[in-house]
């Protein structure tokens, strides 16, 4: 089995419950990220577009810490709490990957870990 290496973005405190990212071989598995900033404050409460922007920034921070690039993302999965949020999420996803977007799935869920979260995204990245 390939060695596993936990990845955390700069400035992130330790989290005994999960790794923000896990490298296995040449793959980086990015945990589901929600719209919190580096202080742990919720960004964009009630605003799916603002939350998605923060989520993508959080994912980018993990990928950067692993030495990858957003262009290396092969697959994302998004969990949203309201289908009405999909257009805002889709807009930011398209801005994040304007060309050659990753494979993507979106799932509407009853709720996320905290009620103020509207969007959560996880990613699989192939590191070059």
Domain architecture of the chain: domains with CATH: 22-126 (3.30.1330.40)
Element (H, E) at 29: strand 27-33
Give the pLDDT confidence of 63-100 residue by residue, as tens digits: 999 999 999 999 999 999 999 999 999 999 999 999 99
pTM of the model: 0.94
Helix axes 86-96, 48-65, angle to 10 degrees: 40
DSSP state letters, 50-66: HHHHHHHHHHHHHHHHT
Residue 6, token pair as written in the block: 């936990």
Positions of the chain with pLDDT lower than 70, given as ranges:
1, 13-16
């Amino acid at each position: 089995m390939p060695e596993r290496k936990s990845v955390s973005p700069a400035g992130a405190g330790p989290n005994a419950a999960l790794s923000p990212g896990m490298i296995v071989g040449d793959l980086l598995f990015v945990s589901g990220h929600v719209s919190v900033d580096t202080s742990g404050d919720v960004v964009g409460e009630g605003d799916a577009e603002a939350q998605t922007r923060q989520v993508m920034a959080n994912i980018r921070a993990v990928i950067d810490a692993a030495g990858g690039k957003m262009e290396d993302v092969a697959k994302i999965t998004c969990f949203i709490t309201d289908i009405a949020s999909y257009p805002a999420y889709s807009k930011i996803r398209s801005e994040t990957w304007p060309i050659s977007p990753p494979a993507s799935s979106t799932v509407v869920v009853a709720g996320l870990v905290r009620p103020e979260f509207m969007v959560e995204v996880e990613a699989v990245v192939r590191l070059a």
